[in-house]
Structure 1
Amino acid sequence: MHYSIIINPVAGGGRGNSTWSTVKAALDAAQLDYTPLFTRDEEGATYLTMRLADRHAGRPDETLIVIGGDGTLHQVVNGVLQSKNGRQHPLPIGYIPCGTGNDFARGYGISTNPLTALHQILDAETTEPVTIGHYHDAIKNEDGYFLNNLGIGFDAAVVSRTNASKSKRRLNRLHLGAFSYVSQALGVLYDQAPFTLMVQQERTRQLFPNAFIVIASNHPFIGGGRKVAPDRDLAEPNLELLVVERHNWLITFWTMWLFLRERLARSRFAHRFVGTHLHYTTTSLEFGQVDGEEMGNRFVDLELGTASYPFRQVRHLRKKKKVK
């Protein structure tokens, strides 16, 4: 087996470099065949992966290892699927998480210990198909894939404001990146106006005149481990769309508290749509985010579906509470 390894050295405020040093020592000790490739900018992983997919797609002895955060993994999967060869024969992926949130690792069951995550890859005898989300924006004629979430409204505005803040890099260096999101959320909560949202599923339509939180999820987690879709699992083919409307300030703060307590999805304020095909539109410009990557401020006309992607990694399923 040959391992092509894409490394984002600045992931997690520089944690990518130290993670790679640990992994490299283990690979050398095991005398494994590998080629390291380092990203140089935000779009570097996509470009590197497209080249790899064109060269190696379809080879049974090739595995692509990603060392980075959720954003790096997002870019790699989209890079493979933007390549013609990659779409026909996706390169199996193994993931070693070292980002700020690591939500996909939680959803899949990947250890945040680099050596344990590496052994999950090396111990895998076969590939495992994993559900990923696909979106098509009819207005921009844009297609893409997501592994975690696609959000518009509140969470996307928080992502945009956090990325523009001066405190993010400082907190990332201290490995406190999650606090940069919390610190921006209160400002977004005050500024973000509700918007009109139309959701269509099969032949039914539902109008939400005061939508505030709109998150499509592929697994339970968002924002560094908060459960926003507790019933989702990467082995199942469905996505879940959560819609929460804005009410008076008292209820708005209560919904935020429910979100922090991981109870929002099952509260009476949540509207949940589950399926393999979802369609929703807005009549106003709204912030969007996909796997924590900014989509910009845009009118939204999105069709969501699912696809399957092969991972070569032993999956550690989340432990379920015993029923007495």
Structure 2
Amino acid sequence: MNNIVFIVNEHAGNGLGKKVWRKWRETIDFPHTVYMTEREDHATEIAKKCAESTDDLLLVGVGGDGTIHEIILGIVGFEHVRVGIISAGSGNDFGRTFYVFHTLKDLKEVAHSNSHTKMDIGTVNTPNSEYKFVNNAGFGFDAKVVYLANYSVWKSRLNLFRLGKLAYILFLIKELLTFKTFSFTLHNKDEVTRYDDVWFFVICNQPFFGGGMKISPDSIPNDQLLEMTVVNKLSRWKLLFIFGTVFFGKHTKFKEVKQYQSSDFNMVIHDKVYGHVDGEFSCITEKDIAYSCSIEAHAWNLANR
């Protein structure tokens, strides 16, 4: 195996991954190894095996946020591994903050320089599981929309016509009309605050989620801190309006939006709600059970200039 490895998800972005990789593979003129993902979590398995069997490794992922999430999970803690990304997804929130390769020249420069930046990773702890996230993790309205869309027959049918995003819009409208808000208590340092009538809260390691929404404008992915955004006590139609302002990071001006910053958060969620990590379903919470979230500093190396 060469020390430059590509992990390609051809199905990312409703087939965009295949198109992007076809263009790149025609221009690559240096020794490399290629692996194609075949199933969920396969990228994690490949990345970990490569990290364990090579002393100096540049691992290049070709795919969307889900593929990138899986790759980074596989190499956390491996100091000799650098991760580079070629964005080929539908949302590409990772590429809005982190350095990604746009040209072969970019990739070659990084490959020869050994340059990188150490990045943080977040962890959500539930009573039964641990979930890591590169971008963000959340509970509530947005997580339920993601779950319903990803596991619906409509998304797979719409994907045949490259219209998979319409599934999210359909379920967003549905949940806007039917979602039942929830309550949770935030234990933040010496302060205990109960939030009722909550639509969602999200904990971020970088600013973007949901395909370009700047939910957490002040998040920096290697400052050893996380930011929490809580949205509660607002009408259904005002929520729709606020979503429109999130793309510009202007939602923080509304009194219904609260933000916190810390290296860790502890919450007791008082209702059953859906959770997500990096845009993928994680769990359904139990009533009145404690959950926590923390940052792991300098957990992986981002290949960059």
With normalisation by structure 1, the TM-score equals: 0.84
Counterparts of 1:19 and 1:173 in 2: how far apart (Å)? 18
Q: Contact 1:68–1:96 at 8 Å: present in 2 too? A: yes
Deviations 1:273-294 (A, max 9, x none): 1111111121221111101111
Partner of 2:46: 48
* Equivalent position SS for 1:26: coil
Counterparts of 2:119 and 2:262 in 1: how far apart (Å)? 16
Gap change, CA 1:66 and 1:88, over 3 Å in 2 = closer
Gap change, CA 1:223 and 1:236, over 3 Å in 2 = same
Aligned-partner residue type, residue 5 of structure 1? F
Q: Contact 2:69–2:278 at 8 Å: present in 1 too? A: yes
Cα distance, 1:39 vs. partner? 0.8
Q: Contact 1:11–1:68 at 8 Å: present in 2 too? A: yes
Match status 1:77 vs 2:72: yes
Pick one of 190, 194, 199 that aligns with 1:212.
Answer: 199
Aligned-partner residue type, residue 136 of structure 1? N
* Equivalent position SS for 1:151: strand
Cα distance, 1:198 vs. partner? 1.0
Cα distance, 1:244 vs. partner? 0.8
Aligned-partner residue type, residue 284 of structure 2? N
Counterparts of 1:246 and 1:195 in 2: how far apart (Å)? 10
Deviations 1:203-225 (A, max 9, x none): 21110021111111111111111
Partner of 1:202: 189
Partner of 1:94: 84
Counterparts of 2:105 and 2:183 in 1: how far apart (Å)? 46
Pick one of 290, 297, 301 that aligns with 1:301.
Answer: 290
Deviations 1:91-143 (A, max 9, x none): 210111101100011011436x4647645744654111122222222x11x22
Counterparts of 1:302 and 1:116 in 2: how far apart (Å)? 44
Partner of 1:26: 27
Counterparts of 1:135 and 1:123 in 2: how far apart (Å)? 36
Cα distance, 1:235 vs. partner? 3.6
Gap change, CA 1:20 and 1:260, over 3 Å in 2 = closer
Deviations 1:55-76 (A, max 9, x none): 22xx2x3111111110011111
Counterparts of 1:295 and 1:48 in 2: how far apart (Å)? 22
Partner of 1:84: none
Counterparts of 1:117 and 1:150 in 2: how far apart (Å)? 30
Cα distance, 1:90 vs. partner? 5.8
Partner of 2:208: 221
Percent of aligned pairs sharing the same letter: 24
Partner of 1:190: 177
Partner of 1:14: 15
With normalisation by structure 2, the TM-score equals: 0.89
* Equivalent position SS for 1:223: coil
Match status 1:149 vs 2:136: yes
Aligned-partner residue type, residue 14 of structure 1? G
Partner of 2:304: 313
Q: Contact 1:100–1:177 at 8 Å: present in 2 too? A: no
Counterparts of 2:11 and 2:183 in 1: how far apart (Å)? 38
Q: Contact 1:153–1:287 at 8 Å: present in 2 too? A: yes
Gap change, CA 1:226 and 1:119, over 3 Å in 2 = farther
Deviations 1:41-61 (A, max 9, x none): 1121122222222222xx2x3
Partner of 1:322: none
Q: Give 5+ residue unaligned stretches, structure 2.
A: none
Aligned-partner residue type, residue 53 of structure 1? A
Gap change, CA 1:116 and 1:240, over 3 Å in 2 = farther
Gap change, CA 1:71 and 1:91, over 3 Å in 2 = same
Counterparts of 1:26 and 1:95 in 2: how far apart (Å)? 16
Aligned length: 300
